[in-house]
Amino acid sequence: QVQLVESGGGSVQAGGSLRLSCAVSGDTYSRRCMGWFRQAPGKEREAVAIVSTINDSTYYRDSVKGRFTSSQDSATSTLYLQMNSVKPEDTGMYFCASRWLACPVNTLLPGGAYDYWGQGTQVTVSS
């Protein structure tokens, strides 16, 4: 079992920054690969980033490349998503997820590929 708790969401103006956190606890073997997702009202959930906890490799969806960066702090078992130069279209509920299988190389995974999910944190970007 893995427990994931997101935090750090809030309201920010376009061009600003936010840092989301995902506190991870539980079985180490069930979090070899982690992902960030978001879901805007009336839209489908989409993958934002994928992070390997084994080798720190990351991969991002095209619309956030160069603006978002995910990192991990192994000492505190926390995953971060640094969001810079945010845009109104970044608005949504953000979730972290984990799975026991390793991450693929240079590709995002759909939500169904993950085993555990957090409850989400809301990000609202105003223009």
Instruction: Return d(Cα 56, Cα 73) in angstroms, integer.
Output: 10
SS3 90: helix
Question: In the 8-state DSSP scheme, what is residue 55?
Answer: T
Asked if pLDDT for residue 1 goes beyond 80, the answer is yes
Calculate the CA 79 to chain-centre distance.
Answer: 8
Question: Tens digits of per-residue pLDDT, 4-39?
Answer: 999 999 999 999 999 999 999 988 777 889 999 999
Question: Tens digits of per-residue pLDDT, 59-117?
Answer: 999 999 999 999 999 889 999 999 999 999 999 999 999 999 999 999 999 999 999 99
User: So what's the pLDDT on residue 27?
Assistant: 80
Question: In the 8-state DSSP scheme, what is residue 127?
Answer: -
Angle at Cα 80 formed by Cα 73 and Cα 44, nearest 5°? 145
